[in-house]
Amino acid sequence: MGAILFSLVSVRGASQKAVRGESTFLSFSQAQSVAELPSSRSGLVPFIGDSMLGYLDAAAGKLYAKPYQERAVIDAWGWITYDRLATNVQLYGTDGKGKALQAFAYPWFKASWRILVRADQMGIARIDEEGRILWEKEFSMPITALDASSFVLAIGLLDGSLYILDTQGKSVFLSQEDFHEVRTVYGVAVSDDGKYVAVLKGLSPQKIETYRRSASSYVKISESSLRPESVLQASMAFAEDDSHVILARGNQLLYYNVKANYIKQIEVSTGATQDGLPEKGGEVQFFALQSPGGATIPVLQVQTTDPSDTSILILKHGLLELVAQGAVSLSGGEAGLAIVYEDGVQFVKGWRP
């Protein structure tokens, strides 16, 4: 346990200031086994790190962790480990009991959705906590983008088609395209309340399109052209308050204001040597993560030449709010914020954006 220094940095402003905040660091070396998890699941925050996964008991301030190899996903009901070749998929409950999942696919979890993405990227299946397939859908094109809220799942395809499915797998919106023009979907983000879906698609011009829920379907309400264009797949995330989307693609970070329909490039400078932040050199890659609340969106920054050199930048309205150097992932919940490092989890109790 100890105090942690967070750096609060103005992105574009010349001045940078740092504040101290009290938080708790829970080391993996002192964590309990996940088999010892309390039967009550309330207040448990699932987390996943580079080689450890588990749950944080926010109320008791305890960490339950388990090492894993290859790859994994976790949610409140358990986790799945899998290998790159997608031939060894193992499903675990929170009791730690596992079984093989007969699938040639990668699992993807978000917002109570458990999805298997088929190895050829041309099909998905929704599974329950026991690994049973609830429904499945095959597409004629590879899936290039995927996001979900509790209510809907949005899927973008190589040919530009966009599917929005409800929890039963029924289509609530479909925009079908073909290759007569390049309209590839490079990224998609669904707001937490399912009210908005933002889509990055097309070339010459490349656009961010916003769809709003209307009755039982969605309608396009705006579009905005993007410069510079890129053909690289993007990660996108909505702020919890639906105000904006952060788009991360390679070393590019963009802020898209949904309501005012404008885009700004974010210039993140963590190069200063003050505030405990070592100078960064070379290329980085950014990945947008799920909003922990309010107008904040975390972004994972990975050094291209050294993937073990990571940081999490929490942006608020696109401005740098907090830097967690060395962090690899972040989980948010009502109880607070869990920032996952290589050797443990930093829990910021009662953190509010």
Partner 1 sequence: MKRLLCVSFLFVCLVAPVLGALDFQVPEAVDMSGFGSFLVDQRIATLSGKAFPIDSVYGMVPRSDLVLKSATAGIGAPASGTVVYVQADAPVKTIFSFPSGGTVAILHPESYVSLISGLDARYAIKLAAHPQSAAGRGLVVKKGDMLLGGSGTGPYPQNVFGLRLFDAQNLRWVNPIFLASWVHDRTPPVIRAARLIPSGGTTHIDLSGLAAKDKRITCSQGNYRIYIDAFDTIIPDSSMYSAPYRFLVLLDGKSVIDNSFSAAKCTEGGLSFLENHGPSREAIGADGSYHVGTIALVHGEHDLQVQVSDYVGNTSMLKILIIVP
Q: Which residues bind partner 1 (CB under 8 A)?
A: 48-51, 70-73, 84-87, 102-106, 108, 116-123, 125, 133, 136-144, 158-159, 178-180, 182, 184, 186, 203-204, 228-233, 235, 250, 285, 287, 300, 302, 304, 307, 310, 328-329, 340
Residue 98: exposure state from Cβ atoms within 10 A (0-12, 13-18, ≥19): middle
Closer Cβ to partner 1, 127 or 258, answer by number: 127
Distance between CA atoms of residues 115 and 196, nearest Å: 21
Beta carbon of residue 94, minimum distance to partner 1 (angstroms, whole number): 20
Distance between CA atoms of residues 217 and 228, nearest Å: 31
Closer Cβ to partner 1, 24 or 310, answer by number: 310
Closer Cβ to partner 1, 224 or 303, answer by number: 303
Beta carbon of residue 259, minimum distance to partner 1 (angstroms, whole number): 28
Take residue 84 and report the two structure tokens written for it: 């790159």
Q: Are 190 and 145 in contact (CB under 8 A)?
A: no
Closer Cβ to partner 1, 27 or 87, answer by number: 87
DSSP 241-287: TSSEEEEEETTEEEEEETTTTEEEE-------SGGG-PPP-S-EEEE
Beta carbon of residue 149, minimum distance to partner 1 (angstroms, whole number): 16
Q: Are 296 and 314 in contact (CB under 8 A)?
A: yes
Q: Which phi and psi (to 5°) does residue 276 adopt? A: 75, 10
Beta carbon of residue 34, minimum distance to partner 1 (angstroms, whole number): 18
Distance between CA atoms of residues 139 and 155, nearest Å: 10
Closer Cβ to partner 1, 7 or 184, answer by number: 184
Take residue 262 and report the two structure tokens written for it: 């404008």
Strand, coil or helix: 164: strand
Closer Cβ to partner 1, 38 or 169, answer by number: 169
Beta carbon of residue 18, minimum distance to partner 1 (angstroms, whole number): 26
Beta carbon of residue 45, minimum distance to partner 1 (angstroms, whole number): 15
Closer Cβ to partner 1, 38 or 250, answer by number: 250
Q: Are 173 and 235 in contact (CB under 8 A)?
A: no
Beta carbon of residue 17, minimum distance to partner 1 (angstroms, whole number): 29
Distance between CA atoms of residues 121 and 46, nearest Å: 27
